[in-house]
Structure 1
Amino acid sequence: MTGLERRYRQLLRAYPAGYRHERGEEIVGTYLDLAAPGRRWPSLAEAADLLRGGLRQRLRAAGATDLVPGVRLAALLALTTATFLAGYWMLVEQQTSPAQWGIPTFGPFLSAGVVAWLGWLVAALLVLVAPGRPSRVAIALAVLATAAVPAIGLITNAPRPPLLVLVPQIALGTLALAVDHHLPPPARLLPIAAAIGGGAFAYVSGHNLYFGAYRGSAEEFLPAAGAVLLVVAVLLAVGLTMRRDRRGGWAVTALLTPVGLLSVHILAGAVDGVASGAPRPTLPTLIATALTVGLLGPALLPAAVALHRRRGIPPSQPCPTCGAHR
């Protein structure tokens, strides 16, 4: 056995054992036939293809074929929420305090957060005009820019948005990376429309923030945004379930982490026993709650897949004629 064949077989472990037994030799043989002479390692594209194929077969075996479409639906909702928040904060960033107050700024902006918000607006525009790889790269760069804001603020000695704002934005963006490459035009319009709507909401609501009020506004605004996101996802899930389509349930499960992080100070306040409405949890409780939400949320999807397998829920297969799920 050559080194290349051995590595193909290692990647083949992504598939269920029964499928490997039936089709493993055929799959490995096909890849070996297509490989150039002298190759020692599978290409990244081949590795990704094998891993994706293995995931699809494992989900099919567990009766969870709607999982990937459900995550893609959640990704679109997460992206729309992220761009709405970016549009909101982008307008807020332009409202700096009077110079005589001596409060530091990031050039003409309130804080270094403007770097992230600009990145999200660019991503929203590319989803509309250049869906596919360009828009996914833009989303990834926006996530990285959001994660880099604390370092930018430290290097430039400028204010930055609190982690209460940045962490849920990163969670939304990470999920948004799974957005479908082939969105229909109305869906491609959602992120940029949400960004414009976020800016309009900030303007109409008259938010005139100086840096000291940034956290207070986030504590009021972010849980409301999370609640709206959850309600929309649940309503979609109910509507889809009535059509015997379980994508919505998977979407709700995938969105629980960003929704939880949008409301993390309320959850932490509940842990500390503080009355809801004005939660002021301690910093250790905030950190512990955020870590718990961040770790438990992603674990819900494989747990739900395992529950599907145990209950023996049959997958919803699309009709070969009309494409509807049954």
Structure 2
Amino acid sequence: MSALERRYRHLLRAYPADYRHDRGDEIVGTYLDLADPRRRWPSPADAADLVRGGLRQRLRAAGATDLIPGVRLAALLALTTAAFLAGFWALVEQNPPPTEAGLPVFGPFTSTGIVAWLTWLVAVALVLVAPGRPTRVAVAGAMLVTGAVLLVSPVAGLPRPPLLVLVPQVALGVLALAVDAHLPLAARTLPTIAATIGGTFAATAGNKLYWGSYRWTSEQLLPAVGAVLLGVALLLAAGLAMRRDWRGSWAAVALLTPIGLLSVHILAGAVDGLSGAPRPTYPTMVGAALAVGLLGPLVLPAAVALHRRRQRDGAGQLRTTPADPCPTCGARR
């Protein structure tokens, strides 16, 4: 066995064991036939293709064929939410604190956050004209810039948005990386519309929004946005479930982590046991954010495992119906 074949077989472990037993030789043989004889390692494209194929087969084996289309739906909702927030904050950044306040600024802007918000708006523009790889690259770039603002600004002695503002944006970006490359035009316009609404909302407040806006945003706007996102996800889940389409349900599960991070102020206030408008302590907010960040990603695989158990009949076989959708596009056969 050559080194290349051995490495292809290692990647083949992404598939369920019974599928590997039945078709493993055929799959590896196809890749070897198409590979350059001098190659010693699988190409990145081949590796990604094998892992994606293995994930689809595992989802099919679990009876969760709606999951990938559901995550793509969640990605569109996440990108739309991130676009609204970026549009809002890009306008807020243009209202720095008055000079007499003696607070640090970033040139004519409130903070270095303007760099991050502008990169997010570039990604929003790209999804309208070039969905797919260009949009995913732009979203990844916006996430990196947001992380750089978070890490570099304190070192350089420059003001930046609060941690509880930047972290949810990155979480939304992680999910937005799964945005569908074949979105219809109406869906592609949603992030642009959201960014425009966010900017208009900030503009209506005028000069009332300056350096204190980030604190107000983390306490008031972010939980409200999280509540709206949760409400939209649940409505979609209920509406699609009426047609025995479970994409909305999987989308709601996938969105729980960013929704939780958007709602950290409310969650931390509940932990502190305060009534009315929550005023949690900073350590409690950090603890709530860490809890959501660590536990949230476990919800989706746990939901898949639970779904798999419920889909098995008394003999341990997967229940299937003629209406099972394609695990890639969600189309009903």
TM range (shorter): over 0.9
Alignment partner, residue 285 of structure 1? 284
Alignment partner, residue 324 of structure 2? 317
Q: Tell me how far apart the structure 2 counterparts of residues 270 and 314 of structure 1 sit (CA, whole Å).
A: 43
Q: Tell me how far apart the structure 1 counterparts of residues 136 and 203 of structure 2 sit (CA, whole Å).
A: 29
Task: Trace 1:3-22 onto structure 2 (pairs within 5 A).
Answer: 3-22=3-22
Equivalent pairs, count: 322
Post-superposition shift, 1:131?
1.5
Alignment partner, residue 104 of structure 1? 104
Post-superposition shift, 1:314?
4.1
Q: Tell me how far apart the structure 2 counterparts of residues 206 and 259 of structure 1 sit (CA, whole Å).
A: 28
Alignment partner, residue 125 of structure 1? 125
Q: Tell me how far apart the structure 2 counterparts of residues 33 and 153 of structure 1 sit (CA, whole Å).
A: 51
Matched, 1:89 2:100: no
Deviations 1:130-154 (A, max 9, x none): 2221111111111111111123422
Alignment partner, residue 231 of structure 1? 231
TM-score, normalised to structure 1's length?
A: 0.94
Q: Tell me how far apart the structure 1 counterparts of residues 94 and 5 of structure 2 sit (CA, whole Å).
A: 58
Deviations 1:100-124 (A, max 9, x none): 3322211101111101100111110
Alignment partner, residue 149 of structure 1? 149
Asked if structure 1 preserves the Cα contact closer than 8 Å seen for 2:63 and 2:307, the reply is: yes
Alignment partner, residue 295 of structure 1? 294
Against the structure 1 CA distance between its residues 113 and 240, is the aligned structure 2 distance closer, same or farther, given a 3 Å change threshold? same
Asked if structure 2 preserves the Cα contact closer than 8 Å seen for 1:270 and 1:276, the reply is: no
Alignment partner, residue 40 of structure 2? 40
Q: Tell me how far apart the structure 2 counterparts of residues 246 and 208 of structure 1 sit (CA, whole Å).
A: 44
Deviations 1:6-52 (A, max 9, x none): 11111111100110111011111111122212221111111111100
Asked if structure 2 preserves the Cα contact closer than 8 Å seen for 1:159 and 1:211, the reply is: no
Q: Tell me how far apart the structure 2 counterparts of residues 30 and 216 of structure 1 sit (CA, whole Å).
A: 57
Alignment partner, residue 180 of structure 2? 180
Asked if structure 2 preserves the Cα contact closer than 8 Å seen for 1:244 and 1:325, the reply is: no
Q: Tell me how far apart the structure 2 counterparts of residues 95 and 89 of structure 1 sit (CA, whole Å).
A: 10
Percent sequence identity is: 70
The unaligned stretches of length 5 or more in structure 1 are none
TM-score, normalised to structure 2's length?
A: 0.92
Alignment partner, residue 167 of structure 1? 167
Task: Trace 1:64-75 onto structure 2 (pairs within 5 A).
Answer: 64-75=64-75
Task: Trace 1:130-279 onto structure 2 (pairs within 5 A).
Answer: 130-206=130-206, 208-277=208-277, 279=278
The unaligned stretches of length 5 or more in structure 2 are 312-318
Q: Tell me how far apart the structure 1 counterparts of residues 96 and 205 of structure 2 sit (CA, whole Å).
A: 17
Letter in 2 for 1:115: V
Q: Tell me how far apart the structure 2 counterparts of residues 148 and 194 of structure 1 sit (CA, whole Å).
A: 25
Letter in 1 for 2:83: T
Q: Tell me how far apart the structure 2 counterparts of residues 101 and 53 of structure 1 sit (CA, whole Å).
A: 57
Asked if structure 1 preserves the Cα contact closer than 8 Å seen for 2:62 and 2:305, the reply is: yes
